[in-house]
A = this chain, B = another copy of it.
């Protein structure tokens, strides 16, 4: 037995995809100092396997686990309730908790960390963001010495699967069905496609990297549902693809703490950006630091085994006495808007005066047109074209688009996308 390794008795709460992967890895690798003692699940009888050792107690009663000698609980149930009250009760009883629950940590992480500290217990959640990619340990242990000013991430594998399939020419509705058939998307895909899953992860990363506690409800989320195949065709013209990007940035005047910009939604991503590289359900996170410049993490952000790697790594960390570096964060309001280039896709019944009307409405908001793109091969009766504009705030653009939307030639509501700009400063 190594000098610094302590003995842990570990209970798994939730024996679904991640929980069973965790049990599998613990049984395969037998990490030093870690003994799996309990597995909790509703109707656990259905979940019996032939490979879990008979010494492990299977139960469908949380109280049994709470009152047992298990000293590390792995919360893999998800959701705010009952997971939240279980985590609270476990910490209050002095047990350590490892969780993959992004929602719980995004909404209640600060309170739970405080509770854990007061009990000298560990609360770890390396699996809550980007699954098997060690972004959280990388930030906590490896970038504590930098001043991170910017995070840009592909944090939702479902959206990345859908958008990378659409990049090949498919339409949203068809790919969503395929994703649902493959188990990459839920029957109700709202959390993923409308941005709430990525938002929770962004809140966690902002706390750890920017040291800014943001209220998740303050972060504007835009759905990827409105993206269509024609948008990818025009994105290619601009040297870009489209990805769901979760981003947060300290405003230059406020590096020491007041305001932060943040958003989640589809964006144009230049092909040269590392964020354009993710395929399928992969995740990518870019962290920009004042001293170290841009660091990119990429890999499998979801799935049983990759997520389980993060959970087991956290348990091993606790066994080895590795306390997470817990730098203070402070409550930070979302202030202001990103100033970015935008593209706007119009679908019109072609007639004279359209460009003039659009240009006028944009000019009234002080927005400069950069270029106009019209790909051949579409009917004049239903003509898509794209206008790109110089950096501006989305709110000003949307005022212009509200006015443009009243033009009778428009067959659909104009659809705008912000463009991610590379800005590595080292």
Contact = CB atoms under 8 A, between A and B. Distances in A.
B144 A312 contact: yes
A426 B299 CA distance: 10
Interface string A131-157: 111111111111111110000000000
Contacts of A133: 142, 295
A328 interface: yes
Nearest to A281: B426
Q: How large is the interface on A (under 10, 10 to 19, 20 to 34, 35 or more residues)?
A: 35 or more
A29 B146 CA distance: 8
Contacts of A314: 145
A142 B146 contact: no
A303 interface: yes
B322 A141 contact: yes
Given A142-B138, A308-B145, A132 B289 contact: yes
A59 interface: no
Nearest to A309: B292
B293 A147 contact: no
Give the most central of A139, A142, A146, A321: most B CB within 10 Å.
A142
Contact of A298 (B140, B295, B308, B309): B295
Interface string A300-332: 100101101111111111001111111110000
B297 A293 contact: no
Contact of A31 (B2, B145, B292, B294): B145
Contacts of A311: 145
A385 to B, nearest CB: 32
Contacts of A300: 292-295, 426
Contacts of A277: 274, 277
A221 B4 CA distance: 37
Nearest to A141: B137
A140 B142 CA distance: 11
Contact of A316 (B145, B294, B306, B320): B145
Given A145-B309, A292-B305, A321 B320 contact: no
Contacts of A317: 141, 144, 325
A62 interface: no
A320 B313 contact: no
A142 B315 CA distance: 10
A334 B298 CA distance: 29
B316 A291 contact: no
A19 interface: no
Contacts of A4: 117, 323, 326
B144 A316 contact: yes
Contacts of A25: 145-146, 291
Give the most central of A3, A141, A146, A303: most B CB within 10 Å.
A141
A307 to B, nearest CB: 9
Interface in A25-66: 25, 28-29, 31-32
24 contacts: A3-B117, A4-B326, A21-B291, A25-B145, A126-B142, A134-B134, A134-B141, A135-B142, A137-B137, A137-B142, A138-B142, A141-B322, A144-B320, A145-B308, A145-B315, A146-B313, A291-B306, A293-B299, A295-B300, A296-B296, A296-B297, A306-B426, A320-B325, A322-B322
Given A144-B320, A294-B300, 10 more contacts: A4-B323, A132-B146, A132-B291, A132-B295, A133-B142, A141-B322, A145-B310, A145-B311, A322-B324, A322-B325
Pairs of residues from A and B, 7 with the lowest C-beta to C-beta distance, nearest first: A134-B142, A145-B312, A132-B292, A137-B141, A145-B313, A137-B142, A295-B299
Interface of A: 2-4, 21, 25, 28-29, 31-32, 117, 126, 131-147, 274, 277, 289, 291-300, 303, 305-306, 308-317, 320-328, 426
